[in-house]
Structure 1
Amino acid sequence: MSSLHKSRIADFQDVLKEPTIALEKLRELSFSGIPCEGGLRCLCWKILLNYLPLERSSWTSILAKQRELYSQFLREMIIQPGIAKANMGVSREDVTFEDHPLNPNPDSRWNTYFRDNEVLLQIDKDVRRLYPDISFFQRATEYPCLLILDPQNEFETLRKRVEQTTLKSQTVARNRSGVTNMSSPHKSSAPAPLSEYEVPPSGCEAHWEVVERILFIYAKLNPGIAYVQGMNEIVGPLYYTFATDPDSEWKEHAEADTFFCFTNLMAEIRDNFIKSLDDSQCGITYKMEKVYSTLKDKDMELYLKLQEQNIKPQFFAFRWLMLLLSQEFLLPDVIRIWDSLFADDNRFDFLLLVCCAMLILIREQLLEGDFTTNMRLLQDYPITDVCQILQKAKELQDSK
């Protein structure tokens, strides 16, 4: 480890040990990348995403309260005794009309269960293929949810619910057809049949199952937006970062901590996922156009070239912005980009500048290329040195 890296770690530790965290100093340090040693990134992200307050003395009580609240969500929204009894073959006399699957009341527990299954099928399809280039999400977690897996409980796991249902996943596809493909050429986009995935032994859970549960609880708590394809790509890097924390005490609670950080992050970007807001000032269309207006201001020649070829921002920037670039780069690079995004006070204005920087850094190729060549470049972005991209984005920001 270089002396410079040791010095950076010491700088973070100095800031984080203060009774009240100096947020501006933490942002300044984090913008240039957070060291992964000692769980620094996990802790910094939790502060930058407003999960942990700046007063250190309140961390223990707040974490305990939030983690217990998440356990309560699990008990109330996944474990459903009435349905479980019916599924387990309980006698007819013990099943009330309210518990009956044919109850026509739209507010009945069974009706809710069937609606949940439609959302769950889409989540399941997406999380099983999360970051297929690494094995992490297919491996078993050291900390499975004992509340769900306890053999004393008569309840089915979400994986069991998916395996048992006969609903067609096509009925719940939520991606916006005709705009762009949500998957990058860097990633495998075709989901493999369920049989091709190794199922962890009884009493174990794969990391993708944990992500599935986080997204399911989020969908239940946010019925206005529920689950939209692409949310899995937002929660994936958060969970990976927290679940690989070298501190076992933090790692044990990665699921609950990820849920609340994801919820806070979605509160900032949820409008991107609501189709009815696409053309509003807070929607994704406005933000895509902002990328081009920024490019026009910074590099008129390149802007005119893209306009001349009728290359619309929807063809590439939709995915870049909506998924916070999580599909354009390998996971370690995504995490490094997110260090800078989370550290910036106007983080999503900075994201627009990152997208603009990505265009400018390949300007020579774009200026020389025809429509097909340029579309290929933008759909499969060639530069892998994300520090170069972030440096260019910072230059654009400072020039404003």
Structure 2
Amino acid sequence: MMLMKAAVEMVTKPSEAANAELRRAERVGHGSVGGCSNNSVKASVEAVRSAVDIDAVRARASTGLPDDARPGTWKLLLGLVDSDDVLACEGLTERRAQYHRWRREFQSSHAGIDNPEQGEADKKDSYARDASLIKEIDKDVCRTRCDLAFFAPGSMQQQWMLRILFVYAKLNPDLGYMQGMNEILAPIVYTFGAVSDDDSAREAEADSFLAFSVVMNSAKVLYSMLPSDPTKTGVEAQMNRLNTLLRQHDASLWLHLNSIGLSPDFYSFRWYMTLLAREFSIETTQRIWDSLLSDPRRFSFLHYISCALIISQKVKLLSEGFTGALKALQVLEEIDIEDVLAHAQQMRERDRQADQNQHLLDRTKMTMANPHVVLYFDVNKTVIMHDPVQGKDLPNIVNDLLTERAFGVVSADGETWTWNKCPVLASDGVVGSGEVSYGTFLRAKYPMSSNSDESKKNKKVRKVMRQDFTSKGFPGEGLASEHAVLLERLQLPSHDGEAYQEALAATGLDESPYHFIIPAFFHFIQYLHDGGVSFNLVFRTYGDDLHRIAQEFNHFCEGKHPFFKTGSSLMDGSDGGVDRRLCLSTADGSSHRFGTFYRSDDITALIMGTFKQPPAVNVSHEEFYATHSNLHTIHGLESIHSFLTKQWRNDQVTLAIRDFYPYWFSKREDARAGKLMTLDTSDKDVHVIFFDDNILAYEPHIVDAREAKDGTPLAWEVTRDVQLMRVEPLEAIGNKSYFIERYLLSCENHNKST
């Protein structure tokens, strides 16, 4: 049981604590699902069941696995154990039993003929074919990793390999057995056969067969003819792909190898046919396979590893002719496999980003008729995952986010909520009948009220329950591991050096180990700026955290951000281009770029030059601001709309506006009193978009969309996914192209409606 538990512990804790947790699990004798011992499994079901996020498993495995976690993690990656419920082993148990039935069936059909001369003709032929097959397999198995005592002649592991390859060949007569399969099987048997857990050790042969079958299901294309070209084998196509990849990532090396006539078929045929299982020590092979198996596309990463292996020998290759270069690639001396894998990953990420950028560019060209864009961006839980006004740090905010994505059942009396045990990060979005999110449950149990004091009390209770959601004793404690995963995704890279610390301090990132403004936001602004999109950015918030936003955002615009460098041009105007920095002070003679809304039933005003607000709706804004100097007040929707969408258009400046929470609160947080967004539906030259996490799936909730000319409320059905863009914070945390994709959807829908 210990092995799968080790795998689960490793991928459900922050990575820096993984090895310590594995050692702790081993000391206390925790079980692993690899063995599926039911007694210890049942005791830990509730603690572990929800914890496995397959993306987290892949990410952790790609960096290399500890030996004790490898068997269990490989089972997860290969699908031998269901990642949705790693402790339910019925499927694995049945597949193991099936292997044993096949093994007995095929062995008895072969060994059962004592005197083939007396059998029927077809039995004679079958016996002869089986005998020939066994002899062929045995010859290769005896030569496989024979330098290791683990695979010593006559060893149990050699017998496993013989039986596994025989059974596989019998079950796959179209493919049969081919040389190279023995090499692929070896690291699997070595991994599963070296376990200490009794149950896993007993089933190591069956587990090895099951894993080998999954691997071969992906790799068998190498052994077959191409359907599109029956004259070529699959491995030829893969080697051609490697040739293209090398030319793309190192043209000078590719030209040299091409000039001496050394094409990939001379040296990479064995790499592909054995999945690099013959080139290195068994331990290095296991490390390579950690990365290979972590790839959802199974072995597409093999191309990049092979390319990185070639490039690692570049200095030697450029000085050699055909013979010397071929020997260098066959021997592969002085290889640092971690450097090779890191380079392979960098090349793949570069290609993925290029493909994604091209896809986004194509979508932009198709969807944009080049209107000017006004981007309203909520701050808390949209741009930043902190809420200093509410006293919430990142761990609190992440709990807050999980309450809206965790679903469960409410008791008949409406008093309690019970989680449905479904993970959030790996959710398919399907909600069970009668299930509601924890956030919905809290809003129903502690609702807004016409009584102001009661509303404030209920809001305070909701706040506490939400921000402690995954803490021990709270309804979401089973999601603590996913809480840890999200924190890790927002953790700042760690570097040493005084210059780095100074850069952090200047940007305002020296007081927390986590990102303040999320990466996806910077990626989006860079995308728009580099793409030549005409836009104004307007930060919108009920809070007073805009100075902290300005500090980091302005460093980004100036190209000084320690983690997000601007592209080909800066955004501070120093190169003669657009200055997108957020200015929260006003020089003499210049216009204010920051301000606040004031709203009541009778008045809508935008006061530029201050963030200060009247404390309540019934306090006259004229009296409140009477003693303030150098303010600019705009009254009425049409004037406000013109000010926000036209006055700043040519300069494309960034603005910051504080919305008036007392009015929204007085209306029990009804959308028609929320953050004002004015539209002129007849103006096709301006596209207004509002990004906010509090826009709900079924109503605008926090944004009050109105026609600028007459104040008519605009229907949710008209503005949804056009102007009003709901933000899913968990998606924005995990996908740096999130805002780009949402923006393009908005543009596509806007074009359809015009």
TM > 0.5 = yes
Q: Report the equivalent of 2:319.
A: 368
The 3 A distance-change label for structure 1 pair 101 and 21 is farther
Find 2:148's aligned residue among 116, 120, 134: 134
The 3 A distance-change label for structure 1 pair 67 and 19 is same
The reply on whether 1:35 has 2:66 as its aligned counterpart is yes
Q: Report the equivalent of 1:9.
A: 19
CA deviations 1:123-142 (Å, max 9, x no partner) are 0000011102211111xxxx
Secondary structure of 1:78's counterpart equals helix
CA deviations 1:192-223 (Å, max 9, x no partner) are xxxxx5x4xxxxx5311111000000000000
CA deviations 1:253-281 (Å, max 9, x no partner) are 00001111111110001011225769668
The reply on whether 1:115 has 2:144 as its aligned counterpart is no
Q: Report the equivalent of 1:216.
A: 166
The 3 A distance-change label for structure 1 pair 56 and 126 is same
The 3 A distance-change label for structure 1 pair 31 and 69 is same
The reply on whether 1:263 has 2:213 as its aligned counterpart is yes
Q: Which amino acid aligns with 1:9?
A: N
Q: Quote the Cα distance in structure 1 between the aligned partners of 2:52 and 2:70.
A: 15
Offset, 1:356? 0.5
The reply on whether 1:52 has 2:81 as its aligned counterpart is yes
**Larger CA deviation: 19-28 vs 211-220:** 19-28
Secondary structure of 1:238's counterpart equals helix
**Contact 1:20/1:54 (8 A) holds in 2:** no
Offset, 1:313? 0.7
Q: Report the equivalent of 2:57.
A: 26
**Contact 1:358/1:389 (8 A) holds in 2:** yes
Secondary structure of 1:365's counterpart equals helix
Offset, 1:234? 0.5
Find 2:272's aligned residue among 314, 317, 321: 321
Find 2:107's aligned residue among 78, 95, 100: 78
Q: Quote the Cα distance in structure 1 between the aligned partners of 2:273 and 2:15.
A: 33
**Contact 1:278/1:284 (8 A) holds in 2:** no
Secondary structure of 1:261's counterpart equals helix
Find 2:287's aligned residue among 331, 336, 343: 336
Q: Report the equivalent of 2:298.
A: 347
Secondary structure of 1:326's counterpart equals coil
**Which structure dedicates a bigger proportion of its chain to strand?**
2
Secondary structure of 1:80's counterpart equals helix
Offset, 1:359? 1.0
Q: Quote the Cα distance in structure 1 between the aligned partners of 2:233 and 2:323.
A: 31
Q: Quote the Cα distance in structure 2 between the aligned partners of 1:357 and 1:389.
A: 6
Secondary structure of 1:59's counterpart equals coil
Q: Quote the Cα distance in structure 1 between the aligned partners of 2:138 and 2:88.
A: 33
5+ residue gaps, structure 2: 1-13, 26-32, 34-47, 352-754
Q: Report the equivalent of 1:272.
A: 222
Offset, 1:72? 0.8
Offset, 1:328? 0.9
Q: Which amino acid aligns with 1:259?
A: F
Q: Quote the Cα distance in structure 2 between the aligned partners of 1:130 and 1:225.
A: 21
Aligned-pair identity in percent equals 31
Offset, 1:47? 1.1
**Contact 1:218/1:226 (8 A) holds in 2:** yes
Q: Quote the Cα distance in structure 1 between the aligned partners of 2:235 and 2:59.
A: 28
Q: Quote the Cα distance in structure 2 between the aligned partners of 1:46 and 1:109.
A: 38
**Larger CA deviation: 61-70 vs 251-260:** 61-70
Q: Quote the Cα distance in structure 1 between the aligned partners of 2:271 and 2:143.
A: 19
Q: Report the equivalent of 1:397.
A: 348
Q: Report the equivalent of 1:236.
A: 186
Offset, 1:383? 3.1
Q: Which amino acid aligns with 2:182?
A: N
Offset, 1:370? 1.5
**Contact 1:49/1:264 (8 A) holds in 2:** yes
**Contact 2:223/2:233 (8 A) holds in 1:** no
Q: Quote the Cα distance in structure 2 between the aligned partners of 1:57 and 1:109.
A: 44
Secondary structure of 1:56's counterpart equals coil
Q: Quote the Cα distance in structure 1 between the aligned partners of 2:73 and 2:19.
A: 12
The 3 A distance-change label for structure 1 pair 373 and 227 is same
Q: Quote the Cα distance in structure 2 between the aligned partners of 1:374 and 1:114.
A: 44
The 3 A distance-change label for structure 1 pair 209 and 277 is farther
Q: Report the equivalent of 2:94.
A: 65
**Which structure dedicates a bigger proportion of its chain to helix?**
1
The 3 A distance-change label for structure 1 pair 65 and 363 is same
Q: Quote the Cα distance in structure 2 between the aligned partners of 1:284 and 1:101.
A: 44
Q: Quote the Cα distance in structure 1 between the aligned partners of 2:203 and 2:305.
A: 32
Offset, 1:297? 0.7
The reply on whether 1:291 has 2:291 as its aligned counterpart is no
The 3 A distance-change label for structure 1 pair 337 and 57 is closer
Q: Report the equivalent of 1:253.
A: 203
The reply on whether 1:227 has 2:189 as its aligned counterpart is no
Secondary structure of 1:237's counterpart equals helix
Q: Quote the Cα distance in structure 1 between the aligned partners of 2:229 and 2:211.
A: 27
Q: Which amino acid aligns with 1:381?
A: L
Offset, 1:398? 1.6
Secondary structure of 1:120's counterpart equals helix
**Contact 1:356/1:393 (8 A) holds in 2:** yes
The 3 A distance-change label for structure 1 pair 304 and 6 is closer
CA deviations 1:129-173 (Å, max 9, x no partner) are 1102211111xxxxxxxxxxxxxxxxxxxxxxxxxxxxxxxxxxx
Q: Quote the Cα distance in structure 2 between the aligned partners of 1:18 and 1:343.
A: 21
Q: Quote the Cα distance in structure 1 between the aligned partners of 2:333 and 2:228.
A: 28
Q: Quote the Cα distance in structure 1 between the aligned partners of 2:295 and 2:226.
A: 28
**Contact 1:242/1:251 (8 A) holds in 2:** yes
Offset, 1:377? 0.3
Q: Quote the Cα distance in structure 1 between the aligned partners of 2:214 and 2:84.
A: 19
The alignment covers a number of residue pairs equal to: 316
The 3 A distance-change label for structure 1 pair 347 and 11 is farther
Offset, 1:6? 7.0
The 3 A distance-change label for structure 1 pair 58 and 100 is farther
**Contact 2:218/2:298 (8 A) holds in 1:** no
Q: Which amino acid aligns with 1:230?
A: G
Offset, 1:56? 2.8
CA RMSD of aligned residues (A): 2.6
Q: Quote the Cα distance in structure 2 between the aligned partners of 1:218 and 1:271.
A: 16
The higher relative CO (CA closer than 8 Å, separation ≥ 6) is in: 1
Offset, 1:80? 3.0
